[in-house]
Chains A and B, each alone.
Chain A
Amino acid sequence: MVALPPCERPRLRCCAASGCRSAGARPLLAALRAAAAAGGTAPDGIAAGDQAADDISAGASAAPEPLEVRSVGCLRLCGEGPLVAWDGPEGTRLFGGLAPAAAAALVDQVRGLASLPLAADPALVSHQLDLEQPFFRLQRPLVLEGCGIVDPERIEAALAHGSYAQLRRVLHELSPEAVREQVRRSGLRGRGGGGYPTGLKWDTVALQPPGRRYVVCNADEGDPGAFMDRSVLEGDPHRLLEGMAIAAYAVGADHGYLYVRAEYPLAIERLRLALQQARQQGLLGPSIAGTAFALELEVRVGAGAYVCGEETALLHSIQGQRGIPRTRPPYPAQAGLWGAPTLINNVETFAAVPVILRQGGDWYAAIGSEGSRGTKVFSLSGAIRHTGLVEVPMGISLRTVVETMGGGDPDGGAVKAVQTGGPSGGCIPADLLDTPVDFESLLSLGSMMGSGGMVVIGQGTAMPEVARHFMAFSVNESCGKCVPCRAGTVQLLALLDRFVEQRATAADLEALEALCAMVKATSLCGLGQAAPNPVLSTLRHFRQEYTAALGPGS
């Protein structure tokens, strides 16, 4: 969470995850640490005027208490990064977009050495962000409860924040069946997009005939505009490892893999560090927490194929084979890695497990809506004022997320549509924004929950162009195994070109719909089956934009 209760000893938390890094978090963090170590002296005196500089030297001579500058994970409002939170006796203040040159001024404020009040400090005042705004106030952090608070590179920080407490408790007090009972009761459904009941999947793996089992974390987050899993991996990796270890215990696995896309180098680095630290602490490896339970986890890095997020392709890739899907059944829960029953869950699913065990399945099931329990993390991007990460109870309306929390269109115009579910999902028009965010409601509108990417589309964007964008993505990412996806998406893209370029005919519209139906019905895996969704949903809700693109000849 971002806002913390008031604390006596002030501290700074600087987001050092990918989003803020790309906005300059690393030099800012270094400058903050330098300023904190120097007792607040601005290294180059840019931040404050002469008078302030005098005050600082006076303060420095008084040898103030060391100021903690903590590197943390995502602080949510990514679009305003780099983000720094200042925790103190008056609670938390949040700053966005600070340059390294402003670090000294902030440290001075924290130490009470600044000559000007915060509200008048020219280096800071325009950078302070309102933590009372709905974007923060309406969040319900469960999966992300440690993200932004703990230092992801220090297991001590995670332990102090409660990580691995549930693993220890489970191993000492609960049977695997009792763990699965809690997960069943929680109503948790897979957060990777499919929404399969997690408890049922765990039972299926656990109840297979005796023998080796594997547990696999799908961290191949690849939807355009989706960065929920990355934030967990970068911000609180130990929570994920704890969830995975609990799952392994519950299904009887002693070996597992975390399959991470290569495009997430920081996540991979932090995950490897976290694994090493957890092994050192006896929380992974043989006889975990002094029990007979053993678990080895390994990171496997993808090679840049979106389709490897499809579970059977992912398994092939882990086995060192070409990442292509195969026909199911058998499902991985029956026959997965090297033929053994394999539990595959997404990052967010595993990361929700510790809180379910801590608070109880019933407690978790009380959050959210019928059929869609608990919270869901969404990444907001596109034509929206507040770009970033939100965790909200399921069942909240799209309008609350997009307009109230996200602040709507940055230019003050009306939102045109919201794209959910990436290239497998669809566009929901503005007049349906009161739809609750849950698995069934989004499906019924021709979109899907997906993994949690929400891309807001402004009035200036033509929907056939949106559809073409996603179709081009599917063309590039098709593995090429089955013909509807390999060749059908290419033909769909060519048809969409004709609509975008306003030279389509009525026959093209007919062909577009027929081919969409064929690709959807006949493709081998979910990627191909869902590839027409961006077209179908925009045809459904914005058909007039397609008919308006028909050339004069039709």
Chain B
Amino acid sequence: MSVVTLQVDGRDVAVPAGSTLLQAIRAAGLSVPTLCDLEGLEPVGACRLCLVELEGSQRLLPACASEASEGQVIRTDTAQLQGYRRMAVELFFAEGNHVCAFCVANGTCELQDVAVAVGMDHSRFPYQYPQRSVDASHPRFSLDHNRCILCTRCVRVCDQIEGAHVWDVAERGSDCRIVAGLDQPWGEVDACTSCGKCVDVCPTGALFAKEDTTAEKHPHPERAGQLRRAREQRQWIS
């Protein structure tokens, strides 16, 4: 196995060739906030929270979707990056209708977590109060679009792990929303296997089990990675 060595925030780190910068950052014992990234799913580089600086480059790199290469000098926590990350998180809060107080995911929400991580004590951007709906047509789960941050983890887990491709994104810009099937009520989509993987990986309270009420959601984002590894390493085949 060939290895690349690079430097992250002054720490030297060696990772297998083909690793992402995010893996290298974590291998160095450091972290950057992430929302759309999830182990087991193909990266999309959409939330922009894991952007890092690369010495010698003007452009910021999404750590989740960039390959680590030999000799890179990476900085993950400059004042500039901190400023951008906080603004990104504020934009997430301001574009949806996020009310932690009565949210099913209060306490286990990754958006809440990154808000803490970037030191967001308030949003400088006015909340937009978009008109969004709730789809409770599925017998076991619900989708509250008000809490969706369009990370597309649900889209990817359903496509890449479950193989059902129930979810996709419709519309564009600030009108974007997750749709089931051919923009049908979720409960009417025959392709849905009711496996619950989308609910497991949803970072916020947008997808949740119907029996859960305020602060009762128990997400399992680790399952996508477990399934992917089990499949690739054929762990359950004798």
Contacts and interface: CB of A to CB of B under 8 A. Distances in A.
A322 B169 contact: yes
B184 interface: no
A425 to B, nearest CB: 19
Interface string B170-214: 011111100000000000000000000000000000000000000
Of the four ranges (under 10, 10 to 19, 20 to 34, 35 or more), the interface on chain B belongs to 35 or more
Contact of A327 (B45, B47, B88, B125): B45
Nearest to A484: B48
Interface stretch (A56-64, A337-345, A518-526): A518-526
Interface string A485-505: 011111100100000000000
A326 B42 CA distance: 12
Contact of A487 (B45, B62, B91): B91
B18 to A, nearest CB: 13
Contact of B173 (A329, A477, A484): A477
A514 B174 contact: no
A387 interface: no
A488 to B, nearest CB: 6
A481 interface: yes
Contact of A490 (B44, B65, B95): B95
B126 A522 contact: no
B88 A522 contact: yes
Contacts, number: 95
Interface residues of A, number: 31
A480 B175 contact: yes
A486 B176 CA distance: 9
Contacts of A480: 150, 169, 171-176
B94 interface: yes
B168 interface: yes
A475 interface: yes
Contact of B88 (A305, A329, A518): A518
Interface string A468-481: 00000001111111
Contacts of B67: 329
Interface string B38-75: 00000111111001000000001010011100000000
B47 A522 contact: no
A327 to B, nearest CB: 4
A99 interface: no
A486 B96 CA distance: 12
Interface in A131-188: none
A482 B125 contact: no
B83 interface: yes
B40 to A, nearest CB: 19
Contact of A482 (B48, B66, B126): B48
A130 B46 CA distance: 54
Contacts of B125: 491, 515
A191 B174 CA distance: 30
A483 B91 contact: yes
B118 to A, nearest CB: 13
A476 B174 CA distance: 8
A414 interface: no
Contacts of B51: 522
Interface in A256-309: 305, 307
A329 B21 CA distance: 13
Contact of B60 (A329, A491, A521): A521
A327 B62 contact: yes
B95 A479 contact: no
A518 B45 contact: no
A518 B173 contact: no
A432 interface: no
Given A518-B84, A518-B87, A483 B172 contact: no
B48 A305 contact: no
B171 A518 contact: no
A511 interface: yes
B48 A522 contact: yes
Contacts of A484: 48, 88, 91
B167 interface: no
B168 A483 contact: no
A475 B174 contact: yes
A136 B164 CA distance: 60
Contacts of A477: 172-173
Nearest to B128: A490
Contacts of A488: 87, 91
Contacts of B95: 483, 486-487, 490
Given A478-B172, A478-B173, A524-B48, A483 B88 contact: yes
Interface of B: 43-48, 51, 60, 62, 65-67, 80, 83-84, 87-88, 91-92, 94-95, 124-126, 128, 149-150, 168-169, 171-176
Given A327-B45, A479-B172, 9 more contacts: A481-B44, A483-B92, A483-B95, A486-B150, A486-B174, A487-B91, A487-B94, A487-B174, A511-B124
6 contacts: A305-B172, A322-B168, A477-B172, A477-B173, A478-B174, A518-B84
